Homo-oligomer: A and B are copies of this chain.
Amino acid sequence: MNSYTEENYLKAIYKLTEQSEGNITTNAIAEVMNTKAASVTDMVKKLADKKLVNYAKYQGVRLTKKGEDIAIQIIRKHRLWECFLVNKLNFKWDEVHDIAEELEHINSTTLVDRLDEFLGFPKFDPHGDPIPSKNGIFSANNFYKLLKLNEGDIGKVAGVCDHSNTFLQYLEKQKLGLGTSISLTEKNEYDQSVVITTADGRAIFLSKEVANNILVAI
């Protein structure tokens, strides 16, 4: 059994691994965990003792298979609970992260599997992130950054890259929720801003920054 804190470190290391090549540095972990590098060193040693990470002094860490499996199961729980909160309890997509952060540590395989079934085995969470299956497999998707699409392309909003509340609330205000059908009507070379049109005919201007954080299924 791993502590709440150990689980959070594993999850953090997993997410850093997704974003960068090579070993994960102590400072990078300290940053996302909101602690100091010295604390990370302590914890990393403990995780190494438990064979959850490979660690050599000054070389950073990498999750072992065992550590990765645990991290994936935590992500599975987090995303399933987010589905529950949004689909069953009518939370908005910008309200669920902190609660799911707590719920993800509830310890019962049966609970997770029953929840999965209750929700109809969803493949993606309310932000479009894939939900790993019971045995840790992520569904493939065909999502592309809105910024990379060409004029005339059509699709549906399928996910976000930035999960911050301010970004999610901005999309909400523009009525760009998951599943919204859009077409790319205009690309501005100069600042890379775009204009999209929704199914109900609204034209929406989006900056490069925004377009880069919206994923579209085409």
Answer yes or no: A111 CB below 8 A from chain B CBs. yes
Residues in chain B near residue A114, CB distance under 8 A: 89-91
**Complex CA distance for A85 and B98, rounded to whole angstroms:** 22
Residues in chain B near residue A118, CB distance under 8 A: 88-89
Residues in chain B near residue A203, CB distance under 8 A: none
**Segment with Cβ contacts to B, from A39-47, A62-70, A101-109, A147-155:** A101-109
Residues in chain B near residue A206, CB distance under 8 A: none
How many residues of A are in contact with the other chain, CB < 8 A? 18
**Complex CA distance for A114 and B111, rounded to whole angstroms:** 19
A102: which of B95, B98, B99, B106 is its contact (CB, 8 Å)? B106
The contact string, 1 if C-beta is below 8 Å from chain B, for chain A 72-112, is 00000000000001001111000100110011001110110
**Complex CA distance for A75 and B114, rounded to whole angstroms:** 23
Residues in chain B near residue A90, CB distance under 8 A: 114
Answer yes or no: A161 CB below 8 A from chain B CBs. no
A22 to chain B, nearest CB (A): 36
A84 to chain B, nearest CB (A): 10
Q: Residues of A with Cβ closer than 8 Å to B?
A: 85, 88-91, 95, 98-99, 102-103, 106-108, 110-111, 114-115, 118
Query: Which 9 pairs across A and B sit closest by C-beta, in order of nearness?
Result: A89-B114, A102-B106, A99-B108, A99-B111, A89-B118, A88-B118, A103-B106, A102-B107, A89-B115
